[in-house]
Amino acid sequence: MTTVKPHVHQQALEGYKGAELYDRVRPHYPASAIAQIRKAVDTKDDIHVVDTHHHPRIGAGTGIFTRDLMGNPVWLSSTSEIVAVEPNPEMRDVLARETANHKVKVSAVDGTFEKTGVPDSWADVIIMATSFHWCLDQDSALAEFTRILKPNGVIAIIFNIHDHQNCPWVKKMDDIREAAAQAKGGSMHPRTTWGKVFDHPVYKEHFEQPIHSNLPYYEVVTRDNAVQRFLTWSGIAVMDPEAKQKAIETVVSIISEAQDKGIGGLEWENKSEGTFRFPYNAELDVCKRK
């Protein structure tokens, strides 16, 4: 009997069923990263984008990155079409709704890293925003990317990473997330899972060495925003109710202590309004086809 290899990580399927909440509270991407990706694309206009935000825009999720991309005037004026590849139907529905009135044509399609459904040599750029760590078969994905990219095409892999170094309170939150992720066979440290792609013979044959950038930024949130964002992390989302409630209480305690005692590197945006800065580093790898 032949075993069929799955194309979508089980934790990704189970942990992202709350698409509306995910879309509402997940972070956006810094303008500096959006601009840097555009500079790497040689095509001047009529750009074709394959977008994979959460699982395989190839992982387009609910279209957070797609909307950030279209919020950039240079991208908006030079892009003719975006194909957003997303295997989760709930996320595809939100993506289609939220991008319906864009000037650029956005198609939300069912697919994976290994099977995008995109025509040969169609894409000027493939963008994977906080998604490639879910890829189960990097060799097959690389073969697919090589098939759909134009000869001068670009792959951009970007992740929003929490800033632990300067903010111990964030690390305390993420320690909970990491334990939950590992319990389900995952990890919140993307580069340890997907970074091996650059060592694959297929990558070395078809792509130049990646250009890596680390771009710090922050988002302004309230305590409730931060807790809701915590609940959208896949390892937390699949917890049983009792364990999830305990995790929520611990996170509330961590944030409250940082707010009340001014410890852990928490930086207020407007204390009277209860808003503070949630720190990120956008890790970007740009890979040009040879």
pLDDT at 194 over 90: no
pLDDT band for position 15 (cuts 50, 70, 90): very low
What letter represents residue 227's amino acid? V
DSSP symbol at 91 = H
> Where are the chain's structural domains?
10-162+186-218+281-288
Find the largest Cα–Cα distance for the chain. 64
11 pLDDT exceeds 50?
no
Which of 39-53, 148-162, 186-200, 231-245 shows the lowest per-residue confidence on average (mean pLDDT)?
186-200
Q: Which DSSP string corresponds to 135-169?
A: -S-HHHHHHHHHHHEEEEEEEEEEEEEE--SS-HH
Joined together, the tokens standing for residue 282 give 């956008």
Q: Is the pLDDT of residue 18 over 60?
A: no
> What is the model's pTM?
0.85
Compute CA distances 97 → 31, 69, 92, 285, whole Å. 23, 16, 9, 29
pLDDT tens digits, residue range 121-148?
999 999 999 889 888 899 999 999 999 9
Query: What is the average pLDDT across 139-160?
Result: 95
Phi/psi for 204 (5° steps) reads -65, -30
Show the tokens assigned to 161. 């990473």
Tell how far CA 62 is from the center of its chain: 10
pLDDT for the residue numbered 1: 35
Confidence of residue 235 (pLDDT cuts 50, 70, 90): confident
pLDDT tens digit sequence for 37-94 = 999 999 888 999 998 643 333 445 667 888 899 889 999 999 999 999 988 888 888 8
- For residue 227, the surrounding DSSP H or E stretch is helix 223-231
Q: Which residue has the higher pLDDT, 263 or 244?
A: 244
Alpha carbons 288 and 150: distance in angstroms, whole number: 11
What is the pLDDT of the chain when averaged over all its residues? 84
Give percent of the chain with pLDDT exceeding 70.
85
DSSP H or E stretch at residue 199: none
In this prediction, what percent of the chain has a pLDDT beyond 90?
51
177, 233 Cβ separation under 8 angstroms = yes
The fold for domain 10-162+186-218+281-288 equals: Rossmann fold (3.40.50)
